[in-house]
Chain A
Amino acid sequence: MPKIEFSQQLIVAVVFVLLFGGLSLFLPGFFHLENMIALLQSVAILGILGLGMAVIVIGRGVDLSMIAALAIPSALTLQLATSGVSPVLAVAAGFALAAAFGAVNGWLIAYAEVPPLFATLASGLFLAGMGQAWFFSIESVPLPDALEGLRVLGRGQTAGLPNSVLLLLIMSVLVWIYLRKLKLGAFTYAMGDNPRGARMAGLPVRPMVVLQYMMSAMIAAFAGLIMASSVGSMSTRIFNSTWIYDVILVVVLGGIGLSGGRGGVTNVLIGTALIGTLLNGLTIMDVSFPVQNLVKGFVLLAAIVIDSIANPRNEETAQQGDI
């Protein structure tokens, strides 16, 4: 009996083609260049977050604090600029906060050996709480005129593509270079595949973990600046929303196994495109937000089930607290 390659990437690609084809045929107004651009734009930030999450998940971790890292550092930047700090310094302070936060996450996971699920769940609450309690008096911090220069991140177009979509592409290339061309990327895959084996082989596993979480936090902070410039304000309330599940959805749906060591940038882009198509179709069909959440929840569940079949846990290397 010939063996059929059971690849999640293939399944998702087929689902995507079917969904996209079906919507193009049956939903008037879907298959228009204009709508395609809107579709990409609506998921660009999600895609960028997905790239950060992908690096973590490939290294066998998970970062539930990404939305806190998206909201608080960027809101801090806006707040500082509003209070008269120079724009450059304000942006630097935001990224410094994100880097420090990522380093704390990495330290907790690599050195204190707290499972990433719990470490980032708690640290995200901590950062969001700290921001909401100490930094900001109201949850929505408006983009001040001093940061008008940042508007190009989230608004406007270059060569017919919205800038946020371009930034997604640029970030994709950067993360692709990191994962596929740099030694660090190879280390990440090795760690994800077998953390203890990677350590035995002499890889600097602990510093790598710290680096990965710093990367995801800074990618999230960057996504936060894009979002702030796009909407005109940063709402720290976004931490209370379901965004983090959307990010995990993009990563898992694209076929990056939660058990680590598999997948890449292409998977994130496929996952993002699929979610974008789904959400765009549902919006055009005028389906309400709660029902959209219902559909997303169902798709996430299906993706996790497929993931656990396609990428079974490696009993030899699995640890308590892995997801």
Chain B
Amino acid sequence: MKNLMKSLLLGATLLAAPHAMAKEITEPFREGYIASLKGKTVAFLPGAMAMDLAIGWLGALKSELEPQGVNIIVRDPNFSVQAGAQAFTQLLAEKPDVIVVHNPDVTTYAKLIKQAEAQGILIVQVNMSSLTPSTAYVGVDWVEMGAIQAQHVVDACGGKGKIAIVQGDLTAAASAYTMSGINAVLANNAGIEVVSNQSAGWQSDKAKSITQTVLKQHPDLCGVIGFWDNMDTGTAAAVDEAGLRDQVYVATSGGGETRAACDMVSSGAYDLNVVYNVPNQGANLASTIKYLLSAGIKPGQISGQMYTTLTPVTSANAGDEGVCWTMKQ
């Protein structure tokens, strides 16, 4: 009886042994990962919250980072550069672990970015970079953006004709760098003449009145390159009102929000909208932050770029699933 018990016990132990041994192999990374994210603060400083881009980025940051115990704070300067600089300065005092910053132009925040990194705050720049490098940049390669738009317009014009350019704020990365991309393409296309190259300051009413005047001066215009779809509703309205939808190729760019991008292409208002998928950018931002925090990177140790994939949306693919994303109202 005793022997039987002994052997049963032994058998049971042997059977149980593999389980017991498996429990001993602990996943070696997750505790460090969880600890490195929990309780951290990420500050988000967009140009303004009230636009599709910022709403999309913040949505992704929240859904990716908040479950990890990351605290997200938002500072909304509402399109005011001064208010943005003030909010940034205030953030330096609050010392969040990461600041995600959307630069209104290439210089205003330059010093603040340097100062923040010197204080140990990781700076992740989103979509519009400053001239000052920081730990990470996640966003569009604007030079490529300009080149894609210009190439489409050049092709649509058959290599020769008049085009107009409607820029945003001239010193914003999205204007300055896009312009150099356009210039690079135009340098190889001597037949294309830029008859107007003006800034509408990201305002749709301004874009409309500029385009209207240009169309009256150059009724034979064959293309317009606009720098942001939220502004180029005005550009498209001017072309439409002049009855030149078929003749004038309207190219723009934006964050790929359904109503601002795909719907406008489907309706024929834009012929091309080169989109950067904002939720993907948001996910890239969140991934970058997760990586930086879990790796324990300190500001100044590394500096890298994560350029967003650009998708040219035309009437051919505007209706396809997944090309655009829809913002919840």
Task: State whether B48 touches A139 (Cβ < 8 A).
Answer: yes
| Interface-central residue, A138, A155, A238, by most chain B CB under 10 Å | A138
A35 touches B55 (CB 8 A): no
Contacting pair B216 A237 (CB below 8 A):
no
Residues of A within 8 A of B216 (CB): 29, 32, 34-35, 37-38
For B195, the chain A residues whose CB sits under 8 A away are 286
Question: Does B7 belong to the interface (CB within 8 Å)?
Answer: no
Which of B19-27, B67-75, B205-213 interfaces with chain A? B205-213
**Which residue of A is nearest B241, CB measured?**
A155
Q: Is A289 an interface residue (CB 8 A)?
A: yes
Q: A232-B237, A240-B80, A289-B201 are in contact. Are A137 and B206 (CB under 8 A)?
A: no
Distance in angstroms between the alpha carbons of A233 and B199 in the assembled complex: 20
Q: Is the beta-carbon distance between B52 and A138 smaller than 8 angstroms?
A: yes
B201, A42: Cβ atoms closer than 8 Å: no
Judge whether B50 is part of the interface by a CB distance below 8 angstroms.
yes
| Nearest-Cβ distance from residue B174 to partner chain A, whole angstroms | 15
Given the contacts A280-B213, A289-B201, A138 and B50 also touching, CB distance less than 8 Å? yes
Bits for A129-156, please: 1 = Cβ < 8 Å to B, else 0. Answer: 0001000111110100000000000011
**Among B52, B79, B196, B236, which residue has the most Cβ atoms of chain A within 10 A?**
B79
Among A35, A137, A286, contact of B50 (Cβ-Cβ < 8 Å): A137
Let me know if A308 is at the binding interface, CB within 8 A.
Answer: no
Cross-chain contact B198 with A289 (CB below 8 angstroms): yes
How many A residues, CB 8 Å from partner? 39
Docked-complex contact A289 and B200, CB < 8 angstroms: yes
Contact call B241/A283, Cβ cutoff below 8 A: no
Residue interface mask A18-41, B partner, CB < 8 A = 1: 000000000001001011011101
* Contact (Cβ within 8 A) A283 B234: no
Given A32-B216, A142-B259, A232 and B170 contact (CB-CB distance below 8 Å): no
Is A81 among interface residues, defined by CB-CB distance under 8 A? no
Q: Across the interface, which residues of A come within 8 angstroms of B237, CB to CB?
A: 155, 230-232
Question: A111 to B33, alpha carbons, bound, how many Å?
Answer: 63
List A contacts of B79 (CB < 8 A): 139, 237, 240
Contacts of A287 in B (CB 8 A): 198
Q: Is A212 an interface residue (CB 8 A)?
A: no
Closest to A132 in B: B50
> Could you tell me the distance between the alpha carbons of A138 and B200 in the complex, rounded to whole angstroms?
20
Cα separation A258 to B88 with both chains bound (whole Å): 39
The answer to whether B188 has its CB under 8 Å from any CB of chain A is: no
Within the assembled complex, what's the spacing in Å between the Cα atoms of A135 and B7? 77
**Chain A residues, Cβ within 8 Å of B50:** 132, 136-139, 236-237
B3 CB within 8 Å of chain A: no
Task: Convert B206-228 into 0s and 1s, putting 1 for each residue whose CB lies closer than 8 angstroms to a CB of A.
Answer: 10111011111100000000000
Residue of A nearest to B204 (CB): A231
B202 to chain A: which residues have CB within 8 Å?
Answer: 237
Given A138-B51, A230-B208, are A237 and B203 also a contact pair (CB < 8 Å)?
yes
Contact assessment for A288 and B78 in the assembled complex, using a CB-CB cutoff below 8 Å: no
Whole-angstrom CA separation of A289 from B217 in the bound complex: 18
Whether B170 and A290, one on each chain, are in contact in the complex, defined by CB atoms closer than 8 angstroms, is yes
Set of chain A residues within 8 Å of B206, measured between Cβ atoms: 289
Contact A240–B78 (Cβ < 8 Å): yes
Find out whether the CB atom of A232 lies under 8 angstroms from the CB atom of B233: yes
Cβ-defined contact, B198 with A233, below 8 A: no
Which residues from B are CB-within-8-Å of A240? 78-80
CB-based contact B48/A284 at 8 Å: no
1/0 per residue, CB under 8 A from A, across B77-88: the answer is 011100000000
Asked whether A235 is an interface residue with its Cβ less than 8 Å from the other chain, the reply is: yes
B288 CB to nearest chain A CB (Å):
25
A42-B203 in contact given A137-B329, A138-B51, A138-B52 (Cβ < 8 Å): no
Which chain B residues lie closer than 8 Å to A320 at the CB level?
none
Nearest chain B residue, comparing its CB with the CB of A280? B213
Residue of A whose beta carbon sits closest to that of B202: A237
B108 within 8 A of A: no
Chain B residues whose CB sits within 8 angstroms of the CB of A230 once the complex forms: 205, 208, 237
Give 11 A-B contacts (CB < 8 Å), ordered by A residue: A41-B212, A42-B209, A42-B213, A138-B50, A138-B51, A138-B52, A139-B48, A235-B205, A280-B213, A286-B195, A290-B170
Report which A residues bind B (CB closer than 8 A). 29, 32, 34-35, 37-39, 41-42, 45, 132, 136-140, 142, 155-156, 227, 230-233, 235-238, 240-241, 279-280, 283-284, 286-290
12 further interface pairs, Cβ-Cβ under 8 Å (given A241-B201, A279-B209):
A35-B216, A38-B216, A42-B213, A139-B50, A139-B79, A142-B259, A230-B237, A231-B237, A236-B50, A238-B205, A289-B199, A289-B201
